[in-house]
């Protein structure tokens, strides 16, 4: 029976509805359809860059360096370049190739002498051994295992002794929902940065259209990407150095991404929240307590954050209200402030003082209004569920 080959345009449409990992596999295994796959729009629910891995939706593509002992025992070694002894080689991080994005600036250099590092590691290992001595059952934590690995590697290099193990590269592809895992091992004959670049090319090379990402999470110092890649995103999460990361990421973000629907910051200061990428977002969220200058610098309309009673005090609240009145905070501003611990904020029973100071009106217990202009006011409400307090401050039209 004669069959009609599927047209190029039809193939592109079909590929759009495949799961991303299946698309990547097909394009890799069937070069004849790779061009169609790369030309078809790619839509991702989430994309997470972290050290040594890229996560696309629920699939993690991880590169690591492992070592195999003479008796065949395999251990994790590092998520970065190492020399033949297993000591980290920082020079690999300083090399950028076309398409790479340096997110956090130049990597920090280790300025201490090797003997000083060895002494510190020895002290930590000895302290740990002393704590567990006499304990019949214990499980070493990851930190101490890493310290032991680093210590041995440094000692081998110091003494110029060939280590009793060999290194290899390992690629692990894991589905975090089904826990299915595929592992491939390779001779360690390329740099770690080259291995990470291969992952970036496998996922993204040759794509002519912006890659659509609902949620982008950046927790890596360097993004090893092929040249010309552009992302159209809706939401972004940044763990630290937000201002610097935003500046670094702007060239690979499509202009239609802005204003973003949501920005999540894990560490911040006043310069972070005033960056255009953050400032213009519809919704700002953070689980880290901001200091007063950072809080007052926020201009987003919808904000949700966590704080603690030692920071968000009675004086802090008064300063916020005074600032909102002086700057004539716009109607629609909506702040939700959750307190992380079941401890009563100092201002809970002092609302009358706040009202008197700002000519406000108590509406009911824990609720008041404070005028900003003749046409707007702050609607304030505090509440507690299971001893955990929440504060809502909304600017509404009168």
pLDDT in tens, 17-74: 899 999 999 989 998 889 999 999 999 999 999 999 999 999 999 999 999 988 787 8
DSSP state of 133: T
pTM for this prediction: 0.88
What is the rounded distance in angstroms from the CA atom of residue 100 to the CA atom of residue 95? 9
> Does some domain include residue 350?
yes
What is the rounded distance in angstroms from the CA atom of residue 323 to the CA atom of residue 329? 8
> Does some domain include residue 365?
yes
Closest CA to 8 of 42, 31, 33: 33
Closest CA to 94 of 192, 188, 218: 192
- pLDDT over 80 at 288, yes or no: yes
Which domain range does residue 306 map to? Answer: 289-397
* Structure token digits, residue 15: 């590929």
Average model confidence (pLDDT) across the chain: 90
What is the rounded distance in angstroms from the CA atom of residue 128 to the CA atom of residue 140? 9
Closest CA to 74 of 179, 170, 195, 199: 170
> Does some domain include residue 342?
yes
Span 310-326, pLDDT tens digits:
899 999 999 999 999 99
> Does some domain include residue 321?
yes
> Does some domain include residue 376?
yes
> Does some domain include residue 304?
yes
What count of other Cβ atoms lies within 10 Å of the Cβ of residue 50? 16
Beta-ladder partners of 166? 68
Query: What are the residue ranges of helices labelled H in 108-191?
Result: 114-132, 142-159
Q: Which residues contact 28 (CB under 8 A, 6 or more apart)?
A: 34, 202
Long-range contacts of 278-281 (CB under 8 A, 24+ apart): 278/242, 278/246
> Does some domain include residue 154?
no
> Does some domain include residue 353?
yes
Per the structure, the count of domains in the chain is 1
Most confident of 77-81, 288-292, 345-349, 389-393: 389-393
What is the rounded distance in angstroms from the CA atom of residue 181 to the CA atom of residue 7? 34
Give me the mean pLDDT over the 262-289 stretch.
Answer: 91
Query: What are the residue ranges of helices labelled H in 212-313?
Result: 242-249, 270-273, 276-279, 292-297
């Amino acid at each position: 029976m004669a069959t009609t080959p599927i047209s190029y345009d039809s193939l592109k449409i079909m590929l759009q509805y495949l799961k991303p990992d299946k698309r990547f596999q097909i394009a890799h295994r069937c070069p004849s359809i790779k061009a169609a796959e790369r030309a078809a729009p790619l839509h991702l629910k989430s994309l997470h860059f972290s050290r040594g891995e890229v996560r696309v939706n629920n699939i993690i593509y991880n590169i690591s360096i492992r070592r195999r002992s003479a008796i065949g025992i395999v251990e994790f070694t590092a998520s970065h370049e190492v020399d033949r002894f297993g000591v980290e080689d920082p020079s690999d991080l300083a090399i950028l190739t076309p398409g790479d994005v340096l997110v956090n600036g130049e990597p920090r250099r280790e300025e201490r002498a090797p003997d000083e590092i060895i002494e510190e590691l020895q002290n930590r290992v000895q302290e740990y051994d002393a704590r567990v001595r006499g304990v019949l059952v214990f499980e070493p934590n990851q930190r101490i295992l890493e310290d032991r690995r680093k210590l041995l590697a440094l000692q081998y290099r110091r003494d110029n002794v060939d280590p009793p193990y060999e290194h290899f590269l390992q690629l692990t592809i894991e589905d975090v929902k089904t826990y299915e895992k595929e592992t491939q091992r390779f001779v360690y004959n390329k740099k770690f940065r080259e291995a990470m670049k291969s992952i970036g090319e496998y996922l993204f090379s040759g794509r002519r259209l912006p890659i659509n990402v609902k949620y982008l999470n950046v927790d890596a110092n360097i993004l090893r990407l092929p040249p010309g890649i552009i992302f159209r995103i809706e939401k972004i999460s940044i763990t630290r150095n937000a201002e610097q990361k935003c500046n670094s990421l702007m060239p690979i973000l499509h202009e239609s991404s802005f204003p973003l629907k949501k920005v999540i910051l894990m560490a911040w200061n006043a310069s972070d929240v005033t960056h255009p990428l953050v400032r213009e977002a519809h919704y700002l969220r953070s689980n880290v307590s901001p200091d007063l200058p950072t809080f007052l610098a926020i201009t987003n309309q919808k904000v949700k954050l966590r704080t603690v009673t030692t920071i968000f005090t009675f004086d802090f609240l008064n300063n916020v209200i005074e600032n909102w009145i002086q700057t004539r905070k716009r109607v629609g501003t909506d702040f939700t402030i959750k307190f992380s611990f079941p401890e009563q904020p100092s201002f809970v029973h002092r609302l009358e003082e706040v009202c008197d100071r700002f000519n406000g009106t108590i509406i009911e217990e824990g609720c008041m209004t404070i005028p900003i202009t003749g046409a707007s006011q702050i609607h304030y409400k505090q509440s507690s569920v299971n001893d955990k307090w929440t504060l809502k401050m909304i600017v509404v039209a009168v």
